[in-house]
Amino acid sequence: MKRSVELIMEEKQVCCSHHKTKERSEKEYKDLLNRLSRIEGQIRGIRRMVENDAYCPEILVQVSAANAALNSFNKVLLANHIRTCVAEDIREGKEETIDELVATLQKLMK
């Protein structure tokens, strides 16, 4: 039993590019969740606008604001990923992380 607990703890310490999980600092975690909560509120507001037959341009402006908020979220998340996971993997000589980053950037830029 102790061995499996140790393995779980070791896996949590490994960067996100290998086990597809990442342990975040409390500050990073709260910041990301706060951003997502605001975006979620924006989306609910857009839904209410549609339900209340709001004028199309007003809805479009709110959709644009929600898109900008999602883009901002992506920028923060990507910067954190590069500063932590990518940098750590490069220091450890794990070149495949660069390929993963390039593939991720290509998907984001579609």
Average pLDDT of every residue of the chain: 87
Cα 77 to Cα 18: distance, rounded to the nearest angstrom:
17
pLDDT of residue 22: 82
Whole-model pTM? 0.75
What is the per-residue pLDDT across 25-57, written as a single tens digit (0 to 9) for each? 999 999 999 999 999 999 999 999 999 999 999
Share of the chain above pLDDT 70, in %: 83
C-alpha 70/C-alpha 108 separation (Å) is 12
Closest of 31, 33, 9 to residue 21, by C-alpha:
9
Higher pLDDT, 61 or 8: 61
pLDDT at 58 over 80: yes
Q: How far apart are CA 28 and CA 30, in angstroms?
A: 6
